[in-house]
Amino acid sequence: MSLTEYRRKRHFDKTREPSPEARAPAKKAVKRKAAKTPEVHRPIFVVQLHHASRRHYDFRLQIGDALKSWAVPKGPSYDPTIKRMAVEVEDHPLSYAGFEGEIPQGEYGGGHVATFDQGVWTTPYDPEAQLAKGHIRFELFGEKLKGEWHLVRSGKPARQPQWLLFKENDAYAGKVEADDLLQDVAAPAGKKVVKKAAKTIAPKTRRKVDWAAKALKLTGGRKSSLRNEAFEPQLAKLGDVAPNGAQWIHEVKWDGYRLVSTIVDGKVRIWSRNAIEWTDKVPELRAALEQLGVKSAALDGELIAGRGTQADFNLLQSTLSGEEQGGLAYVLFDLLHLEGVDVRKAPLVERKALLEVLLKAPIPHLSYSSHVPGDEGTAAFALASEQQFEGIISKRADRPYTAGRSDDWRKTKRLESDEFAVVGTTKGQGSRTGFGSLLLARPDAKHGWVYAGRVGTGFSSEQLRQLSKHIGDIGSSKPSVHVPIPLDAELKRATWFPPLFVVEVFIRGLGNSGILRQPSLKTVRMDKDVGDLLDSDRGKPAKKAAKKTTARERVAAPEVRLSSPTKIIFPDRNITKQQVADYYKAVAPHLLREIAGRPLSAIRCPDGVGKACFFQKHHTAGLEIVRFVRLKEEAGINANYLVVDDISGLMELVQFNTLEFHPWGAHADDPDHADRVIFDLDPGPGVPFAEVKRAATHVRDLLEQLELKSFLRATGGKGLHVVVPLNPANDWKLVKKFSKGFAEALAGSDPDRYLATATLKLRPGKIFIDYLRNGRGATAVASYSLRARAGAPVAVPLAWSELKALKRGDAFHMDKTLARIKRQRKDPWAGIDALRQDLSAWG
Task: Indicate which residues carry an active-site annotation.
Answer: 253
- HSE-CB for 412 with a 13 A CA cutoff: 21
Whole-angstrom CA distances from 381 to 198, 348, 493, 538, 696 are 54, 20, 41, 29, 58
Helix, strand, coil shares of the chain as percentages rounded to 5? Answer: 20, 30, 45
Closest C-alpha to 250, from 411, 358, 366:
411
Residue 758 phi, psi dihedral angles, 5° rounding: -90, 15
Residue 26 in 3-state DSSP?
coil
CB 294 within 8 A of CB 262: no
How many CB atoms sit inside 10 A of residue 124's CB? 16
Q: Which amino acid is at 483?
A: V
Q: Is 543 exposed, middle or buried (0-12, 13-18, 19+ CB in 10 A)?
A: middle
Whole-angstrom CA distances from 365 to 271, 276, 572, 597 are 17, 21, 34, 37
Q: Supply angle C-alpha 700, 701, 707, rounded to 5.
A: 90
| Contacts of 322 by beta carbon, 8 Å cutoff, 6+ apart | 27, 41, 42, 43
DSSP lists the bridge partners of residue 640 as 630
Check residue 482 and report its DSSP letter.
B
Task: Give all strands (DSSP E) within 398-501, no chain letters.
Answer: 404-413, 416-427, 435-444, 448-455, 495-496
The Cα 153–Cα 169 span in angstroms is 19
DSSP lists the bridge partners of residue 72 as 57
The Cα 792–Cα 812 span in angstroms is 9
Q: Which amino acid is at 196?
A: K
Residue 344 phi, psi dihedral angles, 5° rounding: -60, -35
Total H helices, total E strands in the chain = 17, 40
How many CB atoms sit inside 10 A of residue 608's CB? 20
Closest C-alpha to 390, from 222, 517, 569:
517
| Contacts of 255 by beta carbon, 8 Å cutoff, 6+ apart | 304, 308, 309, 310, 312, 313, 389, 390, 509
Residue 174 in 3-state DSSP?
coil
Check residue 247 and report its DSSP letter.
T
Q: Supply angle C-alpha 690, 693, 698, rounded to 5.
A: 125
The Cα 320–Cα 305 span in angstroms is 10
The Cα 401–Cα 396 span in angstroms is 10
> Please, what's the largest Cα pairwise distance for the chain?
89
